[in-house]
Amino acid sequence: MRNAFFNAVFALAREDERIVLMVGDLGFRIVEGFMAERPKQFLNAGIAEQNMMSMAAGMALEGKIVFAYSIANFPTLRCLEQVRNDVCYHGARVAIFCSGGGFTYGSMGVTHHVTEDLAVTRAMPGLTVIAPGDPIEAACVPAAIVAHDGPFYVRLGKAGEPNIHAGPIDFQRGRAITVREGNDVSLIATGSMLLVATRAADRLKADGINARVLSMHTVKPLDLDAVEAAAAQTGVILTIEEHSIIGGLGAAVAEYLAERPGAGPRFKRMGVPSAFASEIGSQDHLLAHFGLTEAGVAQTAKQMLAS
């Protein structure tokens, strides 16, 4: 996902001189070619994320479209007030993007676990929050950013995730993509959990359960039409995210469902409890630790259908 996103930024930047790629001393073996090719459209801001984010806003207010990159929590939590005041309040065209979402850097320890970013960015007025589900979606995001006048936060994993979509997709900011059709239960996933959700749906299919899978790549603004249709047509909604169950995708869906008139669907959030991981390990290890696996999702869906 990371490489698909970077390559799309490089391609757009060659056509559009407003685009600037800013990195917080990260991007080894990814950005060097672009740095040499387009020095005026590149900046290594050093290990100084607060300064980086305010500078990105400053450049954007002068007409640039700034893609600001770092890993893990550094371009969000570390400089959240700069994101809020300088980027969001001024409507600056800054696209913050990070790799390392969720437990990508699980073995690196709790400082590198990214499990509250969607919650805090979702709370920022005017900020579009996107977590693409596969490299095909990730490659579409930079163009969507350039087409929309406003700030973005994009959460990426690492490199090497498989493609989930079979072919070209119609990627639109704020519009969910239906990856599997079905009317028995809805699995709404964001980011890396799209893979887990589609595999869980395939398992459920073997048991005669038709699960709808939605790639909710845009967590804000949420595609309320897609959530409404899932509620009305399937009556059972399970959200899945590699993020705290507080404040992210599941919370956004729950907020909508709780305030909507009429009887709600059966609903459950799968995600990370609000606790620091008590052990470390690879992404797969930690996802299994928290039950965020295809088996875990399929089992939860079945329990909901049985209740």
Partner 1 sequence: MNPLPTKQRQSSVDLALQIRRTTVEMTSRANASHIASCFSVTDILAVLYSRVLVFDPQQPRWRDRDRFILSKGHACAALYAVLAEFGFFPKEWLETYYLDGSRLAGHATHKGVPGIEVSTGALGHGLPLATGMALAGKRDERAHRVFCVLSDGECDEGSNWEAALFAPHHRLDNLTVIIDYNKIQSLGWVKDVIDLDPLADKWRAFGWAAREVDGHDHAALEALLTGVPFEAGRPSCIVAHTVKGKGVSFMENNLQYHYTPPRGDELPRALAELGVK
Ligand X SMILES: Cc1ncc(C[n+]2csc(CCOP(=O)(O)OP(=O)(O)O)c2C)c(N)n1
The footprint of partner 1 (CB under 8 A) covers: 23, 25-28, 31, 44, 46-48, 50-51, 72-74, 78, 105, 107-112, 276, 278-282, 285
Q: Interface with ligand X includes 199 (CB under 6 A)?
A: no
Q: Interface with ligand X includes 47 (CB under 6 A)?
A: yes
Question: And the tokens for 183?
Answer: 């009317």
Question: Is 185 within 8 Å of 236 (Cβ atoms)?
Answer: yes
User: What CA dihedral angle connects 90, 66, 124 and 55, to 10 degrees?
Assistant: -60
Compare residues 207 and 279 and give the one whose CB is closer to partner 1.
Answer: 279
Compare residues 38 and 285 and give the one whose CB is closer to partner 1.
Answer: 285
Question: Is 164 within 8 Å of 259 (Cβ atoms)?
Answer: no
Compare residues 255 and 276 and give the one whose CB is closer to partner 1.
Answer: 276
Compare residues 111 and 307 and give the one whose CB is closer to partner 1.
Answer: 111
110 interface partner picked from ligand X, partner 1, none, CB below 5 to 8 A per type: partner 1
> Of 22-30, 97-105, 124-132, 272-280, which part binds ligand X (CB under 6 A)?
22-30
Q: How many CB atoms lie within 10 A of CB 144?
A: 20
Q: Interface with ligand X includes 74 (CB under 6 A)?
A: yes
Nearest-approach distance from CB 285 to partner 1, in angstroms = 4
Which of these, 40, 20, 27, lies nearest to 92 by C-alpha position? 20
Compare residues 76 and 234 and give the one whose CB is closer to ligand X.
Answer: 76
Instruction: Report the Cα 221 to chain-centroid distance in Å.
Output: 12
Q: Interface with ligand X includes 78 (CB under 6 A)?
A: yes
Question: Is 146 within 8 Å of 65 (Cβ atoms)?
Answer: yes
CA dist 303 and 276 (Å) reads 27
Question: Is 137 within 8 Å of 165 (Cβ atoms)?
Answer: yes
Compare residues 219 and 286 and give the one whose CB is closer to partner 1.
Answer: 286
Q: Interface with ligand X includes 25 (CB under 6 A)?
A: yes
307 interface partner picked from ligand X, partner 1, none, CB below 5 to 8 A per type: none
163 interface partner picked from partner 1, ligand X, none, CB below 5 to 8 A per type: none
Q: How many CB atoms lie within 10 A of CB 119?
A: 20
Which positions from 151 to 180 touch ligand X by CB under 6 A, shown as an x/- string? ------------------------------
Nearest-approach distance from CB 84 to partner 1, in angstroms = 17
C-alpha distance from residue 185 to each of 20, 177, 228, 264 (Å) = 43, 16, 13, 14
- Enumerate the β-bridge partners of residue 69: 23, 97
Strand pairing report for 266-272 and 236-244: parallel
Q: Which residues bind ligand X (CB under 6 A)?
A: 24-26, 47, 49, 74, 78
